[in-house]
Structure 1
Amino acid sequence: MSKPSIAPFSSNPDFDYDIRGALGASVAGAGDPGEILAATGHVKKNDHEGWFAAWLALAERTSTAADASAEAGHRVSAASAYLRASAYFANAVNAASSLGDTARLATTFQRQHDAWQGFIEHTSVEVTAVQIPYEDDPLPGYLFRSATRAAAGNPVVVAVNGSDGSLAALWASCVSAGLERGYDVLVFDGPGQQTQLFEKGTHFRPDWEQVLTPVYDFVAAQDRVDADRISVYGISQGSYWVVRGIAFEHRFAAAITDPGLVDVSTSWTGHIPAGLLKHLAEGDLETFDKEMTLGMKFSPDTARTWTFRARPYGTTGYGETINAVRAYNATDVAGQITTKLLILSPENEQFWPGQAQKLAELTPDVSTTIAFTAAEGADEHCQPLARALTAERMYDWLDDQLGR
Structure 2
Amino acid sequence: MNRRYLLRASAVASAGTLLTPVLAGSAAAQRVSAMPEAGAAAPSSTDTFFQDAELNYNFLTLLGFARYGLVDVGSCLAIASQITDGDPASVVQAFTAAGDQFAAVGDTAAAAGHLVSARNAYLQAATYTFTATYFLDAMGAPERFAPVWRRQQALWDQGAALLDPPMEKVRIPYPDTTSTQVPRQATTLPGYFFKVDDSGRPRPVLIFNNGSDGSLPFAWAVAIAPALERGYNCLTFYGPGQGLALVDQGLSFRPDWEQVITPVVEYALSRPEVDPARVALMGDSQGGYWVPRAVAFEHRVAAAVADPGVWDVSTSWGLAKFPPPLLQLFNAGNKTAFDQALQQGLASDPAAAATLAFRSRPFGFSSAFDTYTAVKQYALTNDIVDQIRCPMLIASPEGEQFWPGQSEQLYQALPGPKTVVAFTRAEGADLHCEPKAPGLRAQRIFDWLDATLA
Say which structure, 1 or 2, has more relative contact order (CA 8 Å, 6+ apart): 2
Identity %: 40
- For residue 337 of structure 1, what is the amino acid of its counterpart? I
Q: Which amino acid aligns with 1:9?
A: F
Q: Corresponding residue for 1:164?
A: 213
In 2, Cα distance between the equivalents of 1:278 and 1:317? 17
Unaligned runs of 5+ in 1: none
Q: How big is the shift at 1:299?
A: 3.0
Using the size of structure 2 for normalisation, the TM-score is 0.85
Pairwise CA distance, 1:376:
0.8
Partner of 1:110: 150
State the shift of 1:172 in Å: 1.0
Q: Judge conservation of contact 1:147–1:179 (CA < 8 Å) in 2.
A: no
Contact 1:163–1:237 (8 Å) recurs in 2? yes
Q: Secondary structure at the match of 1:36?
A: helix
Shift of 1:239: 1.7
**1:111-260 alignment runs, 5 A limit:** 111-135=151-175, 136-147=186-197, 153-260=202-309
Secondary structure at the counterpart of residue 305 of structure 2: strand
Matching of residues 351-362 of structure 1 within 5 Å:
351-362=402-413
- Rounded Cα–Cα distance in structure 1 between residues aligned with 2:148 and 2:190: 19
* Counterpart for residue 349 of structure 1: 400
* 2:25 equivalent in structure 1: none
Alignment-derived partner of residue 359 in structure 2? 309
SS, match of residue 313 in structure 2: coil
1:273, CA displacement in angstroms?
2.2
Residues 358, 298 of structure 1: alpha-carbon distance in 2 compared, 3 angstrom cutoff: farther
Q: Secondary structure at the match of 1:294?
A: helix
Give TM-score, length-normalised by structure 1: 0.95
Question: Is 1:296 aligned to residue 346 of structure 2?
Answer: yes
Which one of the candidate residues 65, 68, 73 is aligned to 1:28?
68
On the 8 A contact 1:334/1:362 being kept in 2, the answer is: yes
TM-superposed CA distance for 1:61, in Å, is 0.8
CA contact (8 A) 2:385 2:415 kept: no
Aligned to 1:48, which of 54, 71, 88? 88
Counterpart for residue 369 of structure 2? 319
Higher Rg: 2
Give the unaligned 5+ runs of structure 2.
Answer: 1-38, 176-185
Please tell me the root mean square deviation across aligned C-alpha atoms, in Å. 1.8
Q: Using the TM superposition, give the Cα deviation of residue 90 of structure 1 relative to its aligned residue in structure 2, in angstroms.
A: 0.8
How big is the shift at 1:199? 1.1
2:251, 2:262 → 1: CA distance? 19
Whether the 8 Å contact between 1:9 and 1:41 is mirrored in structure 2 is no
**Corresponding pairs, count:** 402
Q: Which runs of 4+ in 1 moved over 4 A?
A: 148-151
Match of 1:85 in 2: 125
Q: Which residue number in structure 2 is paired with residue 392 of structure 1? A: 443
- Is this contact kept in 2: 1:331–1:362, CA < 8 A? no
Matching residue's letter, 2:77: L
Deviation at 1:133, TM superposition (A): 1.1
Superposed, which structure 2 residues align to 1:268-287 within 5 Å? 268-269=317-318, 272-275=321-324, 276-287=326-337
Q: 1:288 to 1:139 in 2, by over 3 A?
A: same
**Secondary structure of the residue that 2:84 maps to in structure 1?**
coil
Which residue of structure 2 aligns with residue 328 of structure 1? 378
**Deviates most, 323-332 or 277-286:** 277-286
| Structure 1 CA distance for aligned equivalents of residues 396 and 103 of structure 2 | 35
CA distance in 2, matches of 1:97, 1:75: 35
**Mapped pair 1:372 → 2:423:** yes
Partner Cα separation in structure 2 for residue 41 and residue 240 of structure 1: 37
